[in-house]
Amino acid sequence: MRILIAGDVVGKPGRSILKEYLDKKKNEYDFIIINGENSAGGFGITGKLADEFFNWGIDVITGGNHIWDKREMYEYLANNDNILRPLNYPMGVPGSGYVIKKTKNGDKIAVVSLQGRVFMPPIDCPFAKMEELFWEFGEDVKCIIVDFHAEASSEKVAMGWFLDGRASLVFGTHTHVQTSDSKILPKGTGYITDVGMTGSQNGVIGMKVESIIPKFLTSLPQKFEVAEGNERLNGLDIEIDSKSGVCKKIERLDLSKDDIAAF
Amino acid sequence: MRILIAGDVVGKPGRSILKEYLDKKKNEYDFIIINGENSAGGFGITGKLADEFFNWGIDVITGGNHIWDKREMYEYLANNDNILRPLNYPMGVPGSGYVIKKTKNGDKIAVVSLQGRVFMPPIDCPFAKMEELFWEFGEDVKCIIVDFHAEASSEKVAMGWFLDGRASLVFGTHTHVQTSDSKILPKGTGYITDVGMTGSQNGVIGMKVESIIPKFLTSLPQKFEVAEGNERLNGLDIEIDSKSGVCKKIERLDLSKDDIAAF
Amino acid sequence: MRILIAGDVVGKPGRSILKEYLDKKKNEYDFIIINGENSAGGFGITGKLADEFFNWGIDVITGGNHIWDKREMYEYLANNDNILRPLNYPMGVPGSGYVIKKTKNGDKIAVVSLQGRVFMPPIDCPFAKMEELFWEFGEDVKCIIVDFHAEASSEKVAMGWFLDGRASLVFGTHTHVQTSDSKILPKGTGYITDVGMTGSQNGVIGMKVESIIPKFLTSLPQKFEVAEGNERLNGLDIEIDSKSGVCKKIERLDLSKDDIAAF
Amino acid sequence: MRILIAGDVVGKPGRSILKEYLDKKKNEYDFIIINGENSAGGFGITGKLADEFFNWGIDVITGGNHIWDKREMYEYLANNDNILRPLNYPMGVPGSGYVIKKTKNGDKIAVVSLQGRVFMPPIDCPFAKMEELFWEFGEDVKCIIVDFHAEASSEKVAMGWFLDGRASLVFGTHTHVQTSDSKILPKGTGYITDVGMTGSQNGVIGMKVESIIPKFLTSLPQKFEVAEGNERLNGLDIEIDSKSGVCKKIERLDLSKDDIAAF
Ligand SMILES: [Fe+2]
Ligand SMILES: [Fe+2]
Ligand SMILES: [Fe+2]
Ligand SMILES: [Fe+2]
Ligand SMILES: [Fe+2]
Ligand SMILES: [Fe+2]
Ligand SMILES: [Fe+2]
Ligand SMILES: [Fe+2]
């Protein structure tokens, strides 16, 4: 099965280029996953935006530390299976960390949202939680896609090795910068440290330069605004063997609006 | 002028592939820079290794948080201009944060080692220190290469914009994973968030998987050993206009030993 | 000279007990200093509140990481010498980090607001900044009071030793819990790791228990509200020799409203 | 029952003053608990030292982040019930986080070692782990003593409220500075944010000033040595009602060798 992944969609510029790509290409994919934690002005997501994403044909929206930014999402997450918050938030937290779905062809696919702990809020262990989840899945689910939303490269690379042969794909998010290390690990798991961001490349990880530089110069609180122009879609084009769950192809996407228009 | 950059050289596997590349290619370059903070068994560098690197034709070795790991380096740094520690360590710290050299063709080139502060030890502001350095350089130095050794993608991207039009090249190090965002910024500065690592890709950022995974599972102290096999050289192939200091070409290098043998 | 210090005043409960104490006791003191970074609902301070504090007879208000919470303070800090932001915020930041004043008796006194870096935002080195300040002060200023607003006990104790014999008093703030280690260091500097908080003891460092516990249980964002009831004034009663600047007495204050009423 | 608590015993100076106090006073106590994570030269503890502590009449040794510093302790912790590592280290970690013992009078008493997560390594949630432990204890254990080894005052105060009425005593450790907020919470739990350190007060939290100040001035790695002289025993003198588990008295101890000699 062929799967599209789009990295952290940041604000209107991110949504706009994503829409252009989907309009041209969505029919080529069996399944579409985006990370939506920054889609509402860079901070969180709203129910309205999530609905819109589903209308566009997106199958699952994964989360991250910003998924909680808009209070309304607590209820939306609790009531909607196709948008995830990281699995390893503690018991009692609203929403689900994974979902099992069927592709257009009837293949079963599990999507997991997971979050790192190095330089991030203290939540449950992502490694232990994945271990538990495999017990829960048993032999039944072959195709497992994991969005590992984390800061430290060491934690992300370690998760790749930890899940090699047990997940179909482990893709990193959160740094908003695409890494060039996409590969298929020895036991068949597709891996990349970070898929990057879908949004404007005129800023600093999606936000305006003129609001970020003063932050680093002064350490004073700043209001951040979404950057505009030079949008790029960052993501992955994936091929997975439905029977075995093995990753057959992992291709990085890093496309401008012109690139998309030219398809 | 054509410049070679090699990202954090990790242990013997990193040194070994670096040597193979230099044996084949060093004559093509006018200037060669490597980040050496992990060259001694993953932790720091020794004077003996630094001497060896210079013998191989390397012009400047840049540092990072690990440059202090071997105590002997305090003296070596103080006595040797061609190995740098980050510029923004406070007054009184041994060694220098930059060096001005001449290439084979007699072109002046400044190399700066700089370190971030987000999720890293509290040192002086890297942005303010660069500002001071430009005052010191004046109009005299056109070609300025900056190794920004930092963890957070936001701090690195911000530094790129901050130095655009004032440095020839800003390359990130420290995460040990190469990013795919190499580009020339609007005012002529070459930029990449991280050049990646020169070492074994069989591990977790250069160290053995079996020593890292338990760290994440237990939070207990661990001894880390250098990973072996599947070595890759990560770095950059750069073309800079000597007159203006403008970056003309930035090409990512991500080479296996087989790739190098095939040259 | 006799000096009153009150630790971080938190919201209305903090202001209310502070007022009761001042009404009874302010005439006994030659100089009064409070830390005001949490006086406006727990987050920052307003110009109106600062004005009120000065009307009550407070001489100097010191700051901390929360001093920037209300945007209006940028201008107020720039225009008012008697309210401080930490000295070691970088160049270009509004406001001043110290002030030199005269007490009722005409004695010169310098008050410094300083902030730590361990587990706190990356700003300039507090140790180096104090060193510079002593150069600036020269022999002229004998009585120097330092509010060191910091998280880590090690950084605070180290600052005490670093300033011993050079400052009259180094008092810690920020943890909102009073330490019992008030003492006069060998060379004559009064020292305490933290003076504690002036506010309600019914909460968690001044905020309601029911808003804080969920934070620790879930890592989700929470809205914090100021706790009420069981107010206590935490601070110091200090005696300094005006001629030499040596601390003669350091007495901890930890008073309930009943204690104050009974004076 | 009357219980003695001694805060983090640091190196030989800490052990020496502890021994002097025990020689004079141990017969007055029904139960003795010390935090031993810094007893071996400031870093960890050895089996030999633990044996010695037990010979002196200490009933339980609690741990913290430094309990793992000496590799030999992995086995010692696994084989000895009376020395604890924090309960909320993950599954698979050697040793136990609590022990249930009998006092001289036959009263049952549980001692728990627990560790915070704010500014500390990412381990399991201390709040959730305590909740589980209460289920395990059931109605059977009335007297429960918790050493909460944590950095942030907010996390410690919150734990006090969380356990009020369910534990007999919650005492903080790790900052090495005693707080003055010892109290009995409304539902009967004795509480203090930090009991402080048992060791030399001539240093910075037990280590020599001349090794710590350079650390803050330069951010370079330093070797720390145990400070000497001006030893103080910091701890608590506790009275608990054996039937109900309610704390009847919480008295801070902060004693010099002269104080002890004068008993
Ligand atoms: Fe994001
Ligand atoms: Fe994120
Ligand atoms: Fe490195
Ligand atoms: Fe590094
Ligand atoms: Fe405060
Ligand atoms: Fe503060
Ligand atoms: Fe300790
Ligand atoms: Fe500790």
- DSSP symbols for chain A: -EEEEE--B-HHHHHHHHHHHHHHHGGG-SEEEEE-TTTTTTS---HHHHHHHHHTT--EEE--GGGGSSTTHHHHHHH-TTB---TTSPTT-SS-SEEEEE-TTS-EEEEEEEE--TTS---S-HHHHHHHHHHHHTTS---EEEEEE-S-HHHHHHHHHHHBTTBSEEEEESS-S-BS--EE-TTS-EEES----BEETTSBTTB-HHHHHHHHHH-------B--SSEEEEEEEEEE-TTT--EEEEEEEEEEHHHHHT-
pLDDT at C230: 98
Cα–Cα distances (Å) from C13 to A74, C10, C41, C65, C149, in that order, read: 32, 7, 9, 21, 21
CB A209 to CB B177 under 8 A?
no
Q: Are strands A231-240 and D190-192 parallel, antiparallel or unpaired?
A: unpaired
Residue pairs spanning A and B at CB distance below 8 A: 92
B69-102 b/e (C-beta count within 10 Å ≥ 16 → b):
bbeebbebbeebebbbbbbbbbeebbbbbbbeee
Element (H, E) at B131: helix B126-137
Q: CB contact, 8 Å: D223 with chain B?
A: no
The rounded Å distance from CA A36 to ligand 2 centre is 10
CB B178 to CB A175 under 8 A?
no
Show residues of chain C in contact with D178, CB under 8 Å.
179-181
Minimum-distance CB partner of B117 among C118, C122, C128: C122
Q: B127 to chain A: nearest residue by CA?
A: A217
Angle at C166 between CA C161 and CA C170, to 5 degrees: 55
Q: Which residues contact C191 (CB under 8 A, 6 or more apart)?
A: C160, C164, C169, C170, C171, C181, C182, C183, C184, C185, C250
The rounded Å distance from CA D64 to ligand 8 centre is 5
Q: Catalytic site residues of B?
A: 66
Counting as contact any 3 or more CB pairs under 8 A, the partners of B are: A, C, D
CA torsion angle D202 D207 D209 D211 (round to 10): 160
Do residues A244 and A30 touch, judged by C-beta distance below 8 A?
A: no
D163-181 b/e (C-beta count within 10 Å ≥ 16 → b):
bbebbbbbbbbbbbbbbbb
pLDDT at C214: 95
Residue A146 CB: number of other CB atoms within 10 A?
Answer: 28
Q: Is B164 annotated as a binding residue?
A: no
- Tell me what the mean pLDDT of segment A24-29 comes to: 97
List the one residue out of D122, D121, D44, D135 whose CA is nearest residue D83.
D44
Longest Cα–Cα distance in chain D: 55
For D197-227, write each residue's pLDDT tens digit: 999 999 999 999 999 999 999 999 999 999 9
Distance (Å) from the C-alpha of residue A63 to the closest C-alpha of chain D?
A: 21
Distance (Å) from the C-alpha of residue D212 to the closest C-alpha of chain B?
A: 15
- Tell me what the mean pLDDT of segment C88-94 comes to: 96
Return the residue in D88, D124, D130, D131 with the most chain A beta carbons within 10 A, the one to mutate for interface testing. D124
ipTM above 0.95, yes or no: yes
Q: Which residues contact D131 (CB under 8 A, 6 or more apart)?
A: none
Residue pairs spanning B and C at CB distance below 8 A: 16
Instruction: Please state, in angstroms and rounded to a whole number, the distance separating the CA atoms of residues D10 and D177.
Output: 12
pLDDT at D139: 86
Return the residue in A180, A184, A252, A253 with the most chain B beta carbons within 10 A, the one to mutate for interface testing. A180
CB B122 to CB D219 under 8 A?
yes
The rounded Å distance from CA A89 to ligand 7 centre is 29
CATH of domain B2-261: 3.60.21.10
List the one residue out of D107, D244, D108 whose CA is nearest residue D165.
D244
CB D204 to CB C179 under 8 A?
no
CB C204 to CB D154 under 8 A?
yes
- Could you tell me what percent of chain C has a pLDDT over 90? 97
CB A90 to CB C219 under 8 A?
yes
The rounded Å distance from CA C100 to ligand 8 centre is 39
Q: B211 to chain A: nearest residue by CA?
A: A158
- Tell me what the mean pLDDT of segment C223-233 comes to: 97
Q: Is D105 a residue whose pLDDT tops 90? A: no
Instruction: Please state, in angstroms and rounded to a whole number, the distance separating the CA atoms of residues C184 and C178.
Output: 17
Show residues of chain B in contact with D221, CB under 8 Å.
68-69
pLDDT at D13: 98
pLDDT at C193: 98
Q: Is B234 annotated as a binding residue?
A: no
- Tell me what the mean pLDDT of segment D112-139 comes to: 96
For A77-112, write each residue's pLDDT tens digit: 999 999 999 999 999 999 999 999 998 889 999 999
Instruction: Please state, in angstroms and rounded to a whole number, the distance separating the CA atoms of residues A171 and A192.
Output: 5
The rounded Å distance from CA B120 to ligand 4 centre is 9
CB C196 to CB D180 under 8 A?
yes
CB C217 to CB A92 under 8 A?
yes
Its pTM surpasses 0.95: yes
Proximal ligand: closest to the CA of C149: 6
Q: How far is CA A163 from the centre of its chain?
A: 17
Q: How far is CA B225 from the centre of its chain?
A: 21
pLDDT at C139: 86
Residue pairs spanning C and D at CB distance below 8 A: 92
pLDDT at D117: 98
- Over chain B (263 residues), what is each successive 10-residue block's mean pLDDT? 98 98 97 98 98 98 98 97 98 97 92 98 98 93 97 98 98 98 98 98 97 95 96 98 97 98 95
Distance (Å) from the C-alpha of residue D161 to the closest C-alpha of chain C?
A: 8
Minimum-distance CB partner of D117 among A118, A122, A128: A122
pLDDT at B140: 85
For A224-243, write each residue's pLDDT tens digit: 999 999 999 999 999 999 99
Instruction: Please state, in angstroms and rounded to a whole number, the distance separating the CA atoms of residues D169 and D192.
Output: 9
Position C174 confidence tier, pLDDT thresholds 50, 70, 90: very high
Cα–Cα distances (Å) from B24 to B18, B189, B198, B201, in that order, read: 10, 28, 16, 22
End-to-end CA distance of chain B: give it in Å, rounded: 21
Instruction: Please state, in angstroms and rounded to a whole number, the distance separating the CA atoms of residues D261 and D24.
Output: 8
CB D205 to CB C157 under 8 A?
yes
CB B128 to CB A158 under 8 A?
no
D227 DSSP 8-state letter:
-
The rounded Å distance from CA D251 to ligand 7 centre is 21
Position A140 confidence tier, pLDDT thresholds 50, 70, 90: confident
- Tell me what the mean pLDDT of segment A125-140 comes to: 95
CB A219 to CB C92 under 8 A?
no
Do residues D28 and D251 touch, judged by C-beta distance below 8 A?
A: no
Show residues of chain D in contact with C209, CB under 8 Å.
158, 161
CB B125 to CB C128 under 8 A?
no
Q: C194 to chain D: nearest residue by CA?
A: D179
Show residues of chain B in contact with C122, CB under 8 Å.
117-118, 122, 125
Say which of A14, A35, A66, A124 is annotated catalytic: A66
pLDDT at B139: 86
Q: C160 to chain D: nearest residue by CA?
A: D204
Return the residue in A162, A170, A173, A181 with the most chain B beta carbons within 10 A, the one to mutate for interface testing. A181
pLDDT at D140: 85
pLDDT at A104: 81
Return the residue in C69, C75, C117, C219 with the most chain A beta carbons within 10 A, the one to mutate for interface testing. C219
Position D41 confidence tier, pLDDT thresholds 50, 70, 90: very high
Q: CB contact, 8 Å: C131 with chain B?
A: no
The rounded Å distance from CA B188 to ligand 7 centre is 52
D66 DSSP 8-state letter:
G
Q: Catalytic site residues of C?
A: 66
**Residue C193, token pair as written in the block:** 């790791």
Q: CB contact, 8 Å: C162 with chain D?
A: yes
For C6-49, write each residue's pLDDT tens digit: 999 999 999 999 999 999 999 999 999 999 999 999 999 999 99
pLDDT at C104: 81
- Tell me what the mean pLDDT of segment A150-166 comes to: 98
Q: CB contact, 8 Å: A185 with chain B?
A: no
